[in-house]
Amino acid sequence: MTVTRLFAPVLRHPLLCILTLVVLTAGFAAGLPRMTIDTSIQSLISDDDVHRDKYIDFINLFGSDRTTILLVEDKDMWTVDKLQEFENLHYDLGDMKDAEKVESLINVSDVHDEDGDVASGALLDPLPYDAEEAATARKYALQNPLFKGQYISEDGKGLVIIVTTPSYILGTVNDVAIDEEMDSIIADYRDKFERITIIGGTRLNAETTDVLVGEMPPMFLFLVVMLIGGMWVSSKRPQAFILPLITATLSTVITFGFLGWTGIPLNMLGSLAPVILLALGSTEDMHFFASYMEGIKKVNGEKSDLSRPELVLAARKYMIKHVGLPTILTAGTSTLGFAVSAISDVPAIRDFGIMAAFAIFANGVITILLAPSFFHFFGDSKYTKNRLPNRYLRLVSYFIARSFDRIYKKPSLFVLPFGAVCVLGAVAATQVEVSNNPLDALTPGHPFMQDYRFSEERLGGLEGLTILIDGQRDHQIEDPE
């Protein structure tokens, strides 16, 4: 079967092809509201990691280790009124739907010497009823080595509230919703204290999600401007950039709808989908355009009027004959290339592989259905010689063509430089550093990073390390030895 015969239905039924695309796009677009976003560090933990089961056991035994830290500061913190507001904030946070635990000096036990007797209990439960009791509680809080830098700043002006929320390891967590609920509670207290600083995984994921969603439109718009400018300079025909824009937009909608219907979350890698579709997918559209224009010239001559339908069909057949099979092969190999990532044990990489493979496949199907139909309705009416590309661009193209011609004729002259570049690349690859720090997703000037550095200076470190000691037998922990 020839390529032209394979694509014959597409050539004969342009309206049916467009209707098919409309139905497919509408069906997948219905899944857009279901799409979720996951920027958590847990998405980088392999499902087969040897430490995963131990981590899950720890969570089941001791609860979630996912915490959000609130540093509440005021120069008059240790007055009765401020402590009352602090207690109200503590309990309001505890009323959150996803708050598993809330800790602060309101409920954390302290043990200290009190006139020769051992006193224990929460320092702020009940709250001091006068300035003298508040000063005494402040003194004991600063004397406790486990409290300083953990629940109280070294200067005593800042108190900490630690909110524990569900762990990602046990299921999906909506950090954006948790962060919004927490912000709505804290908003009522910002005017009552000098400063409230929030850090932790919940806010970090919410901020990263905002950055991820916010950066996609500018990146896509930048590529659109570059595509329009480049194709207009090179071809001076609007069809050259309109087709890639339509293809990339439809592919993006269908891909994100696919994520919604399948439940695959959009991660940091997946945010590159629009860029990948526009950058890679547009090449096939450009090939269709170039081949169509060549078909006009070859089939109908430079001055032939294409108002007759059979002449337009002949130009489209020429286009399909020359780029139809390469498009199928390119889409197929690119799909398989991205699909290889789907076998990864790391959820983030696996999800990206599935998404990218589907996106490239969908882009190929859309291109095959749309390009012939597009040129049926919006192709040039005639081949016009005066609409040649920019003169300087033609000189660059000529130089590149001559360079490749020399490579074909004398390949030995280019083997040594190519080998040297490969060696340098291999050496440079050994210097690549791997980072899984989620803070790297934000710029140094981002508000979260500023709050992070501020809190790190005020508290005793924000990164926690938990050590689990398993005695391996019952009651071993009760053995004095």
Q: Which of 184, 162, 196, 182 is nearest to 77 (CA)?
A: 196
Q: Model confidence at 120, in pLDDT bands (50, 70, 90)?
A: confident
Confidence of residue 182 (pLDDT cuts 50, 70, 90): very high
CA gap 101, 62 in Å, rounded = 11
Of 26, 422, 449, 390, nearest in space to 204 by CA: 449
Helix or strand or coil: residue 439? helix
Can you give the pLDDT at residue 124?
A: 86
Residue 223: alpha-carbon gap to chain centroid: 18
Nearest to 204 by CA among 347, 353, 71, 40: 40
Which residues face 163 on adjacent strands?
68, 102
- Per-residue confidence (pLDDT) for residue 186, from 0 to 100: 92
CB 369 within 8 A of CB 10: yes
pLDDT digits (tens, 9 = 90+) for 337-370: 888 888 888 888 888 888 888 988 888 888 888 8
Cα 249 to chain center, whole Å? 18
CB-based contact 332:388 (threshold 8 Å): no
Q: How far apart are CA 285 and CA 366, in angstroms?
A: 10
Q: Identify the pLDDT of residue 393.
A: 64
pLDDT given for residue 383 in this prediction: 47
All residues at 6 or more sequence positions from 14 whose CB lies less than 8 Å from its CB, including other chains: 372, 373, 376, 377
Contact 169, 55 (CB under 8 A): yes
Give the model's pLDDT for residue 90. 93
pLDDT, mean of residues 453-468: 79
CB burial readout 217-243, b (16+ within 10 A) else e: eeebeebbeebbeebeebbebebbbbb
Secondary structure of residue 204 in the 3-state scheme = helix
pLDDT at 66: 85
Residues 6+ apart with CB under 8 A from 9: none
- How many whole angstroms separate alpha carbon 443 and alpha carbon 214? 14
- DSSP-H helix ranges across 144-238: 175-187, 201-235
CA distance to 20, 26, 176, 262, 358, per residue, from 31 (Å): 18, 9, 20, 9, 15
Please tell me the number of Cα atoms within 13 Å of 279 on its side-chain side. 11
- Beta-carbon contacts of residue 213 (< 8 Å; ≥ 6 apart): 37, 271
Residue 185: what pLDDT? 92
> Tokens at residue 131, please?
């300035």
Closest by Cα among 112, 113, 138, 114 to 124:
138
- The mean per-residue pLDDT over the stretch 46-51 comes to 75
Give, as one character, the DSSP assignment of residue 476: G
- The reported pLDDT for the residue numbered 385 is 47
pLDDT of 287 higher than 90 = no
Kind plus residue range of the DSSP H or E element containing 68: strand 66-73
Greater pLDDT, 464 or 193: 193
Q: Which two tokens stand for residue 361?
A: 């496949």
Mean pLDDT on 32-44: 80
Task: Report phi then psi at 47, rounded to 5.
Answer: -65, -25
- 3-class SS letters over 116-149: CEEEEEECCCCCCCCHHHHHHHHHHHHHCCCCEC
Q: How buried is 98 (Cβ within 10 angstroms: 0-12 exposed, 13-18 middle, 19+ buried)?
A: middle
Mean pLDDT of 327-334: 83
Burial 246-265 (b: 16+ CB within 10 A, else e): bbbbbbbbbbbbbbbeeebb
SS3 at position 43 = helix
Average pLDDT, the chain: 81
70-95: pLDDT as tens digits: 999 999 999 989 999 999 999 999 99
CB pairs under 8 A, 24+ apart, for 147-153? 147/105, 147/108, 147/110, 148/460, 149/459, 149/460, 149/461, 150/459, 150/460, 151/103, 151/104, 151/105, 151/108, 152/105, 153/71, 153/73, 153/458, 153/459
Strand partners, 69: 162, 199
pLDDT given for residue 92 in this prediction: 93
382-417: per-residue pLDDT in tens?
544 455 555 666 677 777 777 777 777 777 777 788
Q: How many CB atoms lie within 10 A of CB 107?
A: 17
**pLDDT value at position 346?**
81
